[in-house]
Amino acid sequence: MNKGTHIMFDYDNLMESEYINTKMFTENIIKLLDKTIEQSNLNEIDRSINIFDDDNNKTPPGFAIVVVLDESHISFHSYTKLGILAIDIFTCGECSKDNTRKAGDIIMNILEKTYPSINLKQKYEIKRFIY
């Protein structure tokens, strides 16, 4: 038995010709997140959206988006110049496994339809608090 599931996706081969620019890409990922939360019946508590502009000299261009759920979270970190996108989905409430997988499936389906060149390099599923 376990309490909570942590799923991670490593996507690469993101093409600038598909996502256009960091700002547009961020807006599309926010729409994807809204849809995922609604369809997976997750309870959003807070979100933090941070865009690193293409002309920002301090940080490589990309974004960091974290949605805090009811005692869990979904995060998206993108490094657009490298064409990579790191996602993690952690749920540790009663909903757990099914909702985590459902959210993961929705994210994968939308991402892969919207950005056909994107490639799922690695996927991990970690069971947390195994008893």
Q: Give whichever of 36 and 96 is closer to its own copies, judged by the CB atom.
A: 96
Task: Determine which helix (DSSP H) or strand (DSSP E) holds 121, and give its type and residue range.
Answer: strand 119-127
Question: Please, what is the minimum distance in Å from the beta carbon of residue 41 to its own copies?
Answer: 15
Question: Please, what is the minimum distance in Å from the beta carbon of residue 31 to its own copies?
Answer: 20
Question: Please, what is the minimum distance in Å from the beta carbon of residue 46 to its own copies?
Answer: 5
Counted residue by residue, the chain has a size of 131
The alpha carbon of residue 9 and the mean position of all alpha carbons in its chain are separated, in whole angstroms, by: 8
Which amino acid appears at position 11 of this protein? Y
Q: Give whichever of 10 and 18 is closer to its own copies, judged by the CB atom.
A: 10
118 CB burial (10 A radius; 0-12, 13-18, 19+): buried
Contact set with its own copies (CB under 8 A): 3-4, 6, 8, 10, 12, 45-48, 50, 52, 59-60, 62, 64, 66, 68-73, 75, 77, 79, 82, 84, 86, 88, 90, 92-93, 121-122, 124, 126, 128-130
Contact 64, 48 (CB under 8 A): yes
